[in-house]
Structure 1
Amino acid sequence: MTTQNKTAVVTGASAGLGTAYAQRLADRGYDLILVARNAARLETLASDIRSRTGRAVDVVTADLTDAAQLSVVEERLRTDESIAVLINNAGGALLTPLTASDPAAYEALINLNVTALTRLTIAVLPGLTARGHGTIVNISSAMALNSLPISAVYSGTKSYVLTFTQALQQELAESPVTVQAVLPGAVRTELWDGSGVDLEALPDESIMSVDDAVDAALAGLDAGELVTIPSLPEISDWESFEKARQTLLPNLSLRVPADRYRG
C-alpha cells in the first residue's frame, strides 16, 4: 500500500515506544501527527524527523487525561482524511499495593490507559472504514497476562486493552481495517519513573530495548499477527493459550449450574 499523503498518528510520542514508532513510520513514508504532553520534546522530535526524512510532521500538545484536550485529538482523528494509522501508545504505570494508594492517581491511570485509548479508537474508526484502509495498534502489556500483588489496576487496564482489541478484531473481521494488540514485557523507557518499581531492580535479561520492541511489533504487524508479544519465542504458545480459552466458551453461559455447585 502506498503511503503517499498518508498520515500516522502516534500518541505518547515524546519518549520511549512512541518516539521509536514515529521514527519507523516516517521511514516507511508516513507523514505524522505526534501527540504528547511535552511540547518541547515533541518539537525536537518533529524537527529531527522532518530534517532526516522530509516527511510532514504536526505536533499536538495534549494531556489525554483531560477531557477538553482529549476532545481536540478526537476531532482531528474524525476530520483528517489523510489519517491511515493510529498508534495508541500513550499510557502510564502505577505498581503499588492498593492499600497504600491514591485513588485519584489510579483514576488518572484508568483515564489514560483505558478511556483515552477507547475514545481515540472510536473517533478514528469511521474514517478508516469509509476510506477503505487503515491500521490501529493498541499497546497493551505482558502484564495483561500476568497479575502481581502490585499490579491490580495496571494489569486490569492492560487486560482491557487486549480484550477490547480482540473484540474489535472480530467486529472488523470483514473490514479493510487492521487492529493489532502489542504486549511488550519490560522495556527500557521512562514509563518506570514514578511507577513504584525501579527498572534497575529487574534482571537485565528481562528488559528489552525500545528499538527492538518496536521493530518486533512492526514485524508482527507486517506478518498479520493480531496479537504480538515481542519476546515470546514460539507463537504456538500464544496460539495454545488462545485455544484453551476458546474451549471454555461453550460452557460459560448455560441454563443450569455445574454439577459441583449443586447439592
Structure 2
Amino acid sequence: MTENKRRALITGASAGFGRAVALELAEQGWDLIITARGADRLEAVRTATGARAMAGDISDPAHRERLAEVVGSGGLDLVINNASALGPSPLPSLERYPLDELGAVLATNVIAPLAVIQAVLPAVRASDGIVVNISSDAAVGAYEGWGGYGASKAALDQLTAVLGAENPGLRIYSFDPGDMRTDMHQAAFPGEDISDRPEPRTVVPALMHLLESKLPSGRYVASELPVVS
C-alpha cells in the first residue's frame, strides 16, 4: 500500500450495494477492507478488488475486534456500514413480530454499526475521514410489515445525527439509496418480480458525489443528489 492510497472499510460487501461500492472504490484505486457473512461471495469480491477480506457476522463482537485489528492505528478514510438484517420474511406486522428476531435486527442494524464506529473512530480521525451508515426510506415512512427494519434504520439515523454533532470535524452521513434489486429486497417481497427496481451499481454515483462533495454531516437520499460525471 502506498502512503497516499486511501483506505476504506465496507461491511456487507459480498453482494448488493456493498459489492457495487467495493468494485467502484477499487476501480478508483482505494485500498479496501471488506467483510460479510457469505464467505464464497466475499471471496469473489476480494478477487475482483484485491481487498483484504474477512468473512464473519458483524453482530459478533469477536469478529468486530478482528476487523479493528486489521484496520490498526493507521488512518482510515472511509467506513461504510452497509451490512443489514431484514428480519423475518414474509414481513410480519408489529402485532405478530417475534421479539427475539427484532433483537437480532437491532443487533445487526444499530448496535453493530455503532460498535464498528467506536472501534475505528481513532483511525477515521487520523485521516479526517468519512463515516457512511446505509439507511432506508423505511426509517422515515410507515410501511406495513416494515416496522422492525424501519425502526432499526430510524435508530441508526438518530445515532448518525448525534455522532455528527459530537464530531464536528468529521463527515458522518446517513445515506438512503432507495429501492434496489437486491437479495434483501427480494426477501421482503417473496415470490414477487422486483426486476423494475434499479441495480445497486446505478446508485453508486450518488454516493460518490456525497463522498467528494464536502457536504455537512446529515441524512442524504440518493435520488436527491447529483451524480459524479
Please state whether the residue corresponding to 1:188 is helix, strand or coil: coil
Residue equivalent to 1:67 = 61
Q: Does residue 1:92 correspond to 2:82, yes or no?
A: no
Partner letter of residue 42 of structure 1?
A: L
Deviation of 1:154 after TM superposition, in Å, equals 1.1
Deviation of 1:92 after TM superposition, in Å, equals 1.8
Residue equivalent to 2:115 = 119
Q: Which has the larger radius of gyration?
A: 1
Distance change >3 Å, CA 84–CA 132, structure 1 → 2: closer
TM-score, structure 1 as length reference = 0.76
Please state whether the residue corresponding to 2:187 is helix, strand or coil: coil
Deviation of 1:80 after TM superposition, in Å, equals 4.4
Partner letter of residue 10 of structure 1?
A: I
Question: CA RMSD for the aligned pairs?
Answer: 2.3
Please state whether the residue corresponding to 1:231 is helix, strand or coil: helix
Q: Which moved more, 1:14-23 or 1:182-191?
A: 182-191
Q: Taking every aligned residue pair, what percent have the same amino acid on both sides?
A: 29
Partner letter of residue 164 of structure 1?
A: L
Alpha carbons 1:10, 1:22 under 8 Å: kept: yes
Partner letter of residue 84 of structure 2?
A: G
Q: Does residue 1:141 correspond to 2:136, yes or no?
A: yes
Deviation of 1:14 after TM superposition, in Å, equals 0.3
Residue equivalent to 2:224 = 232
Alpha carbons 1:138, 1:182 under 8 Å: kept: yes
The alignment covers a number of residue pairs equal to 220
Alpha carbons 1:183, 1:229 under 8 Å: kept: yes
Q: Give deviations 1:135-169, integer Å, cap 9, x for gaps.
A: 11110111111022312221111111212111111
Structure 2: 5+ residue runs without aligned partners? none
Pick the aligned partner of 2:158 from 159, 163, 166. 163
Distance change >3 Å, CA 74–CA 233, structure 1 → 2: closer
Distance change >3 Å, CA 3–CA 24, structure 1 → 2: farther
Deviation of 1:223 after TM superposition, in Å, equals 2.2
Greater helix fraction, Structure 1 or Structure 2: 1
Residue equivalent to 2:100 = 104
Structure 1: 5+ residue runs without aligned partners? 51-56, 235-263
